[in-house]
Amino acid sequence: MKYLTQIRYGFLPFLLCSVYLLQPVQCSASEALWKAASVSVVITPEENLWMAGYGGRTAPADGKIHDLWMKVLVIEARDGHRGVIVSTDTLGIPQSIYNNVCAALKEKYKLERSQIMLNSSHTHCGPVLRGALHDIYPLTPEHIKQIETYSTKLEQQLVDAVGKAIKELEPATLWTGTGLTSFAVNRRNNVEAEVPGLRKAHDLKGPVDHSVPVLAVKDKEGQLKTLVFGYACHNTTLGIQKWCGDYAGFAQYDLEAMFPGVTAMFYMGCGADQNPLPRRTQELAESYGSRLAHAVADTVRLPMVELDPELKTEIEITDIKLGDAPTKADLEKIAAGNPKSYVTRWGTRLLKELNDGKTFITSYPFPVQVWLLGKTQLWITIGGEVVVDYSLGMKKEFGPNTWVAGYCNDVMAYTPSLRVLEEDVPPRKSSRWGYEGNTSMMVYGLPANRWSDEIEDKIVESARRQVEKIRHGKQAPASLK
């Protein structure tokens, strides 16, 4: 199925702006029936750990531009149903941290997995976490021990922050709006060096999503307390050896300076095939952060739509098949390559597992989550590094009041659409193609080069089931929970 690619991309921003510039529903602050509270925690590593994201790094971090943050927003609807939104300056939350946090929050606060939304900003200037990206770098046992210690602390910080936010819940109103900013460029369809000229000529190619979804939380006096905002673009402006939230980090710092006392929280949209271009300087990262922050600020200053104090939450963990595993002969050839290459480390590890009698996994438990805030605001989250087709397609299918976040709950690999999968199978028509859909799994350590062709259908079908249940009360099969 390729319905996600059969849409008119230029139509979307106009439609979104038209919907979100409607006058808000009027009600007095005393009638606020939501409850909300946010908590911020510094998560900058105290040691110079290895940094996640770029395979060419040869050493751990050596300082910081600014602190990394984890921020938690807990919202509670009129009926007491709660939702936990977490933003983190990390490349991606891996499965082990997600599972451990969900288990702890259920035990301590009776929160179900569907009520927990863990977002990663995908900064490439954050730390390597437990069980993720270990083949990329020449990690020693001491490095792995440091990563484990940091990851365990991060889990506890997250659970503690949720507990603190729950204790501080107070009456609130929730509002939505959408802004626009345009620094994201489809990296598969545009050569980086040509982007400045293509911008001037208005000739950039490929699908993009320049929308900036905004969730604003106000207290009972109408004072702004928390801003949650998203954008679909890789956090890859910088490749330095210093801790930094990249453009998303600068945007959060800028918003908190513009609105003193407000907590600003970023979530990554479906930006796996989108880059901030041009890039590679701190000045550009600061500029993109400023542009994103001003898009959010402009949205907040315009009339927004108030959400009724209603919250519905669903999630499915669906097995999605991997493509064919490499053969022993394939792995022997790969393992004989350059020992400094992450591809060689990947092949060497898999070959050892095969020789030790281990069996490779053939599918992966993949998270797709759907929330309904108020009566109309859908928020869909998808695991992995999600390409833009999913956002554009789901907004078209489920309506403009739909947000789609990638990099949520478990970042285990790239999440290509069928279009990208097919483009990345050799022989490729473009030299820009080949990574997201065909070889990127090696970075994450999975025993395959690609997903099977069922991935798009599985994700979209899961979202459809959950949207149907949330909107119309139809029960999804229990086996999918």
* Average pLDDT score over residue span 322-329: 95
153 band by pLDDT with thresholds 50, 70 and 90? very high
C-alpha separations of 137 from 267, 345, 384, 406 in Å: 26, 9, 20, 25
**Shortest CA distance to 420 belongs to which of 222, 186, 122?**
186
| Residue 59 to residue 139: CA distance in whole angstroms | 10
DSSP-assigned beta bridge partners for residue 245: none
**pLDDT in the model for residue 158:** 98
The better pLDDT of the pair 4, 208 is held by 208
- In the chain, what percentage of residues exceed pLDDT 90? 88
State the pLDDT at residue 375: 96
| Distance, CA of 173 to CA of 164 (rounded, Å) | 20
Q: Evaluate whether 253 touches 289 at the Cβ level (below 8 Å).
A: yes
Over range 153-181, report the average pLDDT: 98
Q: What pLDDT is attached to residue 133?
A: 86
Give the global pTM: 0.92
pLDDT class of 58 with cuts at 50, 70, 90: confident
Residues 6 or more apart in contact with residue 171 via CB below 8 angstroms: 32, 33, 34, 35, 219, 220
Reply yes or no on whether the pLDDT at 15 is more than 50: no
DSSP secondary structure, 244-306, as one string: --HHHHHHHHHHHHHSTT-EEEEEE-S-TTEEESS-SSHHHHHHHHHHHHHHHHHHHHS--EE
- Reported as a pLDDT band with limits 50, 70 and 90, residue 55 is confident
Tell me the residue ranges of DSSP E strands in 53-111: 69-76, 82-88
Is residue 19 very low, low, confident or very high in pLDDT (cuts 50, 70, 90)?
very low
Shortest CA distance to 320 belongs to which of 455, 437, 177?
A: 455
What lies within 8 Å, CB to CB, of 275 at 6+ separation is 184, 185, 187, 192, 233, 234, 236
Mean pLDDT across 373-386: 98
* 413-422 pLDDT per residue, tens: 999 999 999 9
Confidence (pLDDT) at 478: 39
pLDDT interval class at 6 (50, 70, 90): very low
CB 125 within 8 A of CB 65: yes
Checking if the pLDDT of 161 tops 60, the result is yes
- Per-residue confidence (pLDDT) for residue 480, from 0 to 100: 39
Cβ partners under 8 Å of residue 252, min gap 6: 69, 245, 264, 265, 266, 289, 293
Percent of the chain with pLDDT strictly greater than 70: 92
Mean pLDDT score of the chain: 92
pLDDT value at 59 more than 50:
yes
**CB atoms near residue 45 (< 10 Å):** 22
Per-residue pLDDT at 477 exceeds 60: no
C-alpha span between 120 and 58 (Å, rounded): 24
Q: Measure the CA–CA gap between 294 and 291, rounded to whole angstroms.
A: 5
Q: What is the pLDDT of residue 31?
A: 60
Relative orientation angle of helices 11-20 and 388-398, to the nearest 10 degrees = 50
Confidence class of residue 379 from pLDDT cuts 50, 70 and 90?
A: very high
Residue 10, pLDDT above cutoff 50: no
What pLDDT, on a 0 to 100 scale, did the predictor assign at position 474? 61
Question: What is the C-alpha to C-alpha distance for residues 223 and 263, in angstroms, rounded to an integer?
Answer: 12
Q: Sign of torsion, CA 161 164 168 171?
A: positive
Give the tokens for residue 226: 């928390």
Check residue 323 and give its pLDDT. 96
The bridge status of strand 116-120 relative to strand 82-88 is parallel
Token representation of residue 470: 């949330």
pLDDT band at 436 (very low <50, low <70, confident <90, very high): very high
Please say whether the beta carbons of 416 and 455 come within 8 A: yes
In the block, tokens 């609105």 appear at 259
Query: In terms of C-beta distances under 8 Å and separation of at least 24 residues, what long-range contacts does 27-31 make, across chains too?
Result: 27/173, 27/306, 29/173, 29/219, 29/220, 29/221, 29/222, 30/220
Asked if pLDDT for residue 310 goes beyond 90, the answer is yes
Give the span between the Cα atoms of 318 and 162, in whole angstroms: 27
Confidence of residue 232 (pLDDT cuts 50, 70, 90): very high
